[in-house]
Every structure is written in C-alpha cells, then in structure tokens.
C-alpha cells in the first residue's frame, strides 16, 4: 500500500497520546516483523501489526482510523512476548482502540448480539467483549 509521509500529515497529538496511554517508546520498533509473523489474526487484518506501529510512529492517524486491525486484535500478546526489542505492542493496540472508544464511539452494541448468543455465551465473553468494544 502506498502512503504519503509528510510533516503536514503528522498528527503530533495522536502520537503523543498513543505514547502516553501505552507507556511505550514507539521509536524502539525496528520493523523486523516478528509481531506480524506471530499474530494469529494477521490474515484477517487489512494492516499488519508491524504496519500499524509504523503508521503510529509517523502520526498517520487517518490510515489507522480507517483500518479494522485494532478491532480484530484479540489481545493474545503473541506479539509482545516475541518482540526482540521488548516493546509491548498489545499496549499500543489498546491505546489506539481507547482513543476511539473514549470519544464515546462504540464498536458494538449489546443489542446487536442475538438473544440466543447472549444466552449461550460464557459470561467472560460478554464482559471482555464489552470492555474491548465499548467505552
């Protein structure tokens, strides 16, 4: 995919917030791709985890906002434990998710889950799902 990188497109506020919420130094990623390789959900994602970090670093908020990647992430932490730089990607993904959820933009409504599913799902599925997809 081609992306235009320019100081005009760098959303500094976005980068600052991501760093603050995740506590991670985005500069430490050297784009080796171990995260994408280990991610079990990568095949369903439009942008790979590695690409998300690069876009975050460059402040390209729009590309990230249009991506489905962070909503497909299951927080399994495979990326985090395999990163050679000790960088915690799961926290960066969470930060990016929260920046949307905290604007009161939910990704799922409980009423959209069918009553059958609501009845059959283990409670931890509802609790964790509502935590990750609603603010």
Partner 1 sequence: MSAKKESKNPAETAVKEKRQVAAKLVPIYIMGKRYEVPEGLTIMKAMEYAGYKFIRGCGCRGGTCGACGTVYRKPGDYKLQVALACQKTVEPDMYMAQIPFFPANRAQYKFADLTSAPEEVFKLYPELFRCVACNACTKACPQGIEVMDAISALKQGNIAEAARLSFDCIQCGLCTSRCFGELAQYHMFQLARRIYGAKILPRAEHLAEMVRTINEGRYDQILDELKHVKGDELKKLYQEREAEPMPAGEDWKPKDTKYL
Partner 2 sequence: MKTKARNLEDPAVASVEVLGFKLEEIPRWNCCGAVYSLAEDDLIHQVAPVRNLIRVKEQGKDKLATLCAFCFNTLKRANLLMKENAEKRNTLNSFMDEEIDYSGEVKVVHLLEVLRDDIGWEALAQKVKLPLRELKVAPYYGCTLLRPREVAIDSVENPTILREFLKALGASPVDFPESTRCCGSYQIISNPDDIAGYAWTILNSALNHGAEALVLTCPLCDYNLGRGQKELMKKHSGFKGMPLFYFTQLLALALGLDPQVCHFELNYGSPESLLREKNLLS
Of 75 and 82, which CB lies nearer to partner 1 in the complex structure? 75
* CA atoms within a 13 Å half-sphere pointing along the CA-CB vector of 83: 21
Among 14, 22, 52, 56, binds partner 2 (CB under 8 A): 22
Of 5 and 23, which CB lies nearer to partner 2 in the complex structure? 23
Residue 116: both structure tokens together: 């059958």
94 binds partner 2 per the rule CB under 8 A: yes
> CA 47, CA 52: separation in Å to the nearest integer?
6
Stretch binding partner 2 (CB under 8 A), from 1-9, 16-24, 27-35, 58-66: 16-24
Per-residue mark of binding to partner 2, 57-86 (x: CB under 8 A): --------------xx-xxxxx-xx-----
Helix/strand/coil percent split, the chain, to 5: 60, 0, 40
Q: Comparing C-alpha atoms, which of 53, 52, 62 is closest to residue 9? A: 62
For residue 88, count other CB atoms closer than 10 A to its CB.
17
Q: Which does 134 bind (CB under 5 to 8 A by kind): partner 1, partner 2, none?
A: partner 1
26 binds partner 2 per the rule CB under 8 A: no
Q: Comparing C-alpha atoms, which of 73, 70, 80, 62 is closest to residue 24? A: 80
Task: Give the residues lining the site for partner 1 (CB under 8 A).
Answer: 110-111, 113, 115, 118-121, 123, 126-127, 130-131, 134
């Amino acid at each position: 995919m081609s992306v235009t990188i320019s100081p005009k497109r760098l959303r500094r506020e976005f980068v600052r917030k991501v760093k603050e919420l995740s506590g991670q130094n985005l500069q430490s990623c050297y784009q080796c791709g171990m995260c994408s390789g280990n991610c079990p959900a990568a095949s369903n994602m439009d942008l790979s985890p590695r690409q998300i970090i690069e876009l975050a670093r460059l402040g390209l908020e729009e590309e990230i906002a249009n991506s489905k990647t962070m909503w497909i992430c299951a927080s399994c932490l495979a990326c985090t434990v395999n990163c050679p730089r000790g960088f915690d990607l799961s926290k960066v993904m969470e930060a990016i998710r929260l920046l949307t959820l905290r604007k009161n933009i939910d990704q799922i409504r409980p009423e959209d889950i069918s009553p059958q599913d609501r009845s059959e799902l283990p409670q931890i599925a509802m609790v964790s799902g509502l935590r990750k997809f609603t603010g």
